[in-house]
Amino acid sequence: MQIRELLKDKKRIIIKIGSSSLTHPETGSLNLEKMERLIRILTDLRNQGKDVILVTSGAIAVGRKALGLIERPTERSVKQACAAVGQASLMMVYQKLFAEYNQTAAQILMTKYTMINDISRTNAKNTFEELFKMGVIPVVNENDTVSTEELDLDFGDNDTLSAIVTALVGGDLLILLSDIDGLYTDDPHKNKDAKLISCVDEINDDLLGMAKASSSSVGTGGMATKVSAAKIASASGADMVITNGDNVRNINHIMDGIEIGTLFQSQKKQDFNIMDYITSKQYQK
C-alpha cells in the first residue's frame, strides 16, 4: 500500500482510453455518459495543478458507425476513411464536454514519423510543454488517415503511443483504461483460478508470457501491447497502472493510493533512448 500512496504525488499524468471503453458494446455508439465522467475527472486533475494528457482511441470506431459499417474494416484505405470521419466527430464531442467545465482542450495527431524525425519530435515536445503552461489538456490520437503500415510509420495501437508520449513529455504516471481489471497470471475468461497481479517490479519473459491477446472486436490492443507499453514507460521513469475502464472513477482510486489494477513500477534506465523503442520491431504490428 505504501507504494500506491506515492501515486498521489504524481504531477504529469497520461491517461489512455481504448475504443471498447468509449463505446456501447451493443451498438458501437459512443458512451456519452462515461465520456462526460471521464472529462470531469481529467478536468479536476488539471484543477489540482497536474499536467494531464488524454490519449484516446475511437476514431475508426466512431467513423465506422457513422458510415454504417457493421464489421471493423480490414482494408487500410477503408480504415483511413473511417478515421477521417470519426476523428472530427470524436474531437467535437470531447471539445463540447470539456467546455462544460470551462476546460480548454487541444487535438494532437501523431504518426511514428513525428517521433523518428528529430525536428518534428522536438516540435511535438515543445507544443506539449506550451499547452501545459497554458493549462490546456492535449487530446492525442494516432493520425490514422495518413499513417502507413507499409512504411513502418504507424504505432500499431494507442497503448504503445501513450507510452511513447509519456516518455516524450517526461510523464511520471501512465494509466491504461482497459477492458480487464489488470494483468492476470492467466486468461481470466478461460481460467477461473487466474489471479490478478497487483504489482510488477520487473518485466521479464515469464511476465510477457502471461499477457494474452485481447478478444475485443473494437480495439486493436491486447494485454501483450500493454505490457510492452509498460516496458517503455517504466524505462523512461514513469509508473504505469492497468485498470478496468468500465468505471472511469478508477482514475480517482489510483490517484488516492487505493490498490486497484496492476501497477508496473518505474525502473528508469539511465541510458534510456526513446528512439531505441520506436524503431524496435518488437513494438510494431
- Here the cell at position 189 is 475468461
Contact between 225 and 212 under an 8 Å Cβ cutoff? The reply is no
CA 273 to mean position of chain CA atoms: 20
User: What is the pLDDT at residue 221?
Assistant: 46
117 contacts: CB under 8 Å, gap ≥ 6: none
Report the C-alpha gap between 59 and 72 in whole angstroms. Answer: 12
Report the C-alpha gap between 169 and 147 in whole angstroms. Answer: 22
Report the C-alpha gap between 7 and 19 in whole angstroms. Answer: 26
List per-residue pLDDT tens for the chain, 285 residues long. Answer: 588 999 999 999 999 998 888 999 888 889 999 999 999 999 999 999 999 999 998 888 899 988 989 888 888 889 889 989 999 999 999 999 999 999 999 999 998 888 888 899 999 999 999 999 999 999 999 887 776 554 344 565 789 899 999 999 999 999 999 888 998 887 777 888 888 999 998 887 777 766 653 344 334 446 788 888 999 999 999 999 999 999 999 999 999 999 999 999 999 888 888 888 777 644 443
- Cβ atoms within 10 Å, residue 221: 27
Give the pTM. Answer: 0.90
Report the C-alpha gap between 108 and 121 in whole angstroms. Answer: 13
- The full set of domains in the chain, from first to last, is 8-283 (3.40.1160.10)
